[in-house]
Structure 1
């Protein structure tokens, strides 16, 4: 089953894809009941995982972590599957990161095993756009990751029954810029799978329906290339996960305050 949130006449509606038809589910969005709005427009938490693919860890010159590396985004960072990505005037190093994201469907705290599995409502596509120059200003990641209107997510939430592997899905992920493939990998390279992440994150904080856990990106980000490569104005960025969906966005400039 594929679920989405549509913008309709200034509001939003939760819908289900049935063939080529979108069926209204009787709720305003998937967080209540999930052109496309972010699948969950106002999640209480967007928890992201850095350094979760072995090849990406190695290309960034890091050791394999013992625990998940967590940071956060805010609801204002999220945009829909076809919205423009706002490139801040303050950055010169605007980078891409395709990621599978788990959407939480039930409140959990300190979940283990089956409880953590049942908490996963499904999966969606997220492009964790990053201002690398701001990211590396300090050892903390937040200021490079939380920029307004920078993070496409959607267009659907695909329930765990669809992808092979269920709540530990085996997914092919890819990202292209202006028609050129930049990233291509599969979730077999993950250190911490979605169930392990629900267990870990819910130990720290209660996870609520509609919360999002972005599971990390594979290698070949722009910052790790030689020469380095970043997103500029009018670039067309397509992040795709086979069997889940794709977000396709144009980078647009944003004026400094």
Structure 2
């Protein structure tokens, strides 16, 4: 099953993608997708009005996560290109929910910098919360998967060893367009993550190149903080980021950047300058 969050005529709702591609509005059953996940209502049995895609504006797939956690340098190709030393544990940082945007929103290059980079990532949405989740049970805690672009303002990221400033400019976190339930993905390690900038493939790797696979990430994070339904974990980006190319490749106003994840979907964003 595939689900979306959206607004229609100024009102926020959520829905399931029907077999004909229409959106079945399920807002009468729960107020938003996070509430539906918590209530166990990601079901094909729920019904509602059918809406055409053109009638809605897509929101971040979870507009209101209590926690949005990111994994840094989680592909060997990206670790090598950044010159980071190998580690025994995942590198974890946070994004603020108010930096997230939907698939219909542009990425905003801030006035403070032109060093705006792309990072294609698989995002995991937690379905069943918990603390100290064993690796062997971690996959049972997943509600679904979606695409994420961890658009990064690199010079601000590199002001110090802390990532937070460069990862939290407004309008730099496209998340969506759909939440894809785990039963839609037959072989998670073979899923391919790519970024495509103005038609050129910039990043491409399968999930089996992760240094810390999804169950390890969930188990590790849940040891230091409890996870809750609707929390989101961005699992890292492959090598090929713009900052490590010669010369560097930065996203600029007018560009189109796509995150393509096999079996999950395509998240396409245009880039605009901050007003």
TM-score (norm 2): 0.89
**Which residue of 69, 72, 76 maps to 1:50?**
72
Tell me how far apart the structure 2 counterparts of residues 62 and 6 of structure 1 sit (CA, whole Å): 39
**Which residue of 132, 142, 157 maps to 2:179?**
157
**Which residue of 240, 262, 275 maps to 1:242?**
262
Q: Which secondary structure state, in structure 2, belongs to the residue aligned with residue 249 of structure 1?
A: strand
Tell me how far apart the structure 2 counterparts of residues 21 and 126 of structure 1 sit (CA, whole Å): 23
Partner of 1:8: 8
Deviations 1:127-166 (A, max 9, x none): 000000001100101111011111100011111111123x
Matched, 1:201 2:204: no
Report matched runs for 1:46-125 at 5 Å.
46-125=68-147
Q: Which secondary structure state, in structure 2, belongs to the residue aligned with residue 175 of structure 1?
A: strand
Alpha carbons 1:108, 1:116 under 8 Å: kept: no
Q: Which secondary structure state, in structure 1, belongs to the residue aligned with residue 58 of structure 2?
A: coil
Tell me how far apart the structure 1 counterparts of residues 85 and 214 of structure 2 sit (CA, whole Å): 21
Q: Which secondary structure state, in structure 1, belongs to the residue aligned with residue 33 of structure 2?
A: coil
Tell me how far apart the structure 2 counterparts of residues 244 and 227 of structure 1 sit (CA, whole Å): 32
How far off its partner does 1:114 sit?
4.3
Gap runs ≥5 in structure 1: none
How far off its partner does 1:175 sit?
1.0
Alpha carbons 1:81, 1:246 under 8 Å: kept: no
Matched, 1:172 2:192: yes
How far off its partner does 1:21 sit?
2.1
Alpha carbons 1:163, 1:170 under 8 Å: kept: no
Task: Name segments (4+ residues, structure 1) moved above 4 Å.
Answer: none
Tell me how far apart the structure 2 counterparts of residues 155 and 169 of structure 1 sit (CA, whole Å): 21
How far off its partner does 1:113 sit?
3.3
Partner of 2:230: 210
Q: Which secondary structure state, in structure 1, belongs to the residue aligned with residue 233 of structure 2?
A: strand
Greater C-alpha Rg: 2
Partner of 2:36: 33
**Which residue of 138, 145, 149 maps to 1:127?**
149
Gap runs ≥5 in structure 2: 38-56
How far off its partner does 1:169 sit?
4.3
Provide the aligned length of Structure 1 versus Structure 2.
253
Give 1 or 2: higher helix fraction.
2
